[in-house]
Every structure is written in C-alpha cells, then in structure tokens.
C-alpha cells in the first residue's frame, strides 16, 4: 500500500526545519561565544501540584542533547531524542533529494503516525516519572 506524497506539505515542513536549525545554531552560538544563557521559568504545573507535566525535563534534555550527552538527554525526556531522530532523518533525506534534483527520491514521507508516536512517548514518560515519584517518593528530575 503506497502513501500519496504531499510535496507542498513536505516542503513546508522542510522550511520549518531549516528555521529550527537556524534557531538552534543561534542558541548554541549565543551561549557558547557570547556567554548568554537562555532559560525558561519554572514549571507552573510542577510548582502547584508537585507532579511532572508532560514537558518537564524537555529543556534540560535539549541542552544535554546539543552538548552531546545523548543518554542523559534520553533520561530527562525521551521525547526529545525521538523528535531529534525524526528531525535529522527527515532533514537529511530531503536535503539529499533536493541536492540530487529529485533523482534520488529518498525523502522521508510525512505521516501523522510520527505525531502519534511522539505523543505516546511524551505521555508514557510523564506517567512513568509521576509513578516513580508517587510510589517511591523520589523525583527523577
């Protein structure tokens, strides 16, 4: 069963991916060369309930992944590593397809299944972190 390819949608996602890459390069460069540090305020959900929200650990996981600490990044928030892997695969395959002027049709086809996969990983990690906290009284983050 073949999937119809929505080239406009894939092009739009690719452009968004290039913008994201530019922001990541800017962020990493600003922290490394200018000494600027970007941070987010503490999680309001965690502060009010004492539980982890689905995004808790995501910023630390991004920082760790960008600094090369893949395993630690996974422990803080596995969804970041899944998203980074899909992002890298999509961008690399589409870049090769663009540079080959369409001769190599290896671009990763977009499907909503990737969104469902990511949502599942995010919800599962949130559930596991909160169960560990509730059952053993220890915070993972």
Residue-wise pLDDT tens digits, 76-88:
999 999 999 999 9
| Number of Cα atoms under 13 Å in the Cβ half of residue 52 | 25
CA distance 43 to 115: 24
Model pTM? 0.83
CA distance 5 to 109: 7
Q: What is the pLDDT of residues 12-65, one digit of tens each?
A: 999 999 999 999 889 888 888 888 877 778 889 989 998 999 999 998 898 899
How distant, in Å, are the alpha carbons of 27, 52, 53, 96 from that of 44?
24, 10, 9, 42
Instruction: Find out whether 89 and 108 touch, Cβ atoms under 8 Å.
Output: yes
């Amino acid at each position: 069963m073949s999937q119809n390819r929505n080239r406009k949608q894939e092009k739009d996602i690719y452009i968004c991916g290039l913008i994201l890459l530019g922001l990541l390069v800017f962020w990493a460069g600003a922290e490394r060369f200018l000494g600027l540090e970007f941070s987010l305020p503490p999680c309001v959900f965690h502060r009010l309930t004492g539980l982890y929200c689905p995004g808790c650990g995501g910023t630390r996981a991004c920082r760790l992944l960008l600094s090369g600490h893949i395993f630690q990044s996974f422990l803080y928030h596995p969804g970041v590593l899944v998203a980074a892997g899909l992002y890298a695969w999509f961008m690399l395959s589409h870049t090769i397809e663009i540079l080959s002027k369409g001769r190599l049709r290896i671009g990763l086809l977009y499907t909503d299944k990737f969104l469902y996969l990511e949502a599942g990983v995010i919800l599962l990690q949130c559930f596991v972190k909160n169960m560990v906290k509730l059952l053993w009284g220890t915070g993972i983050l």
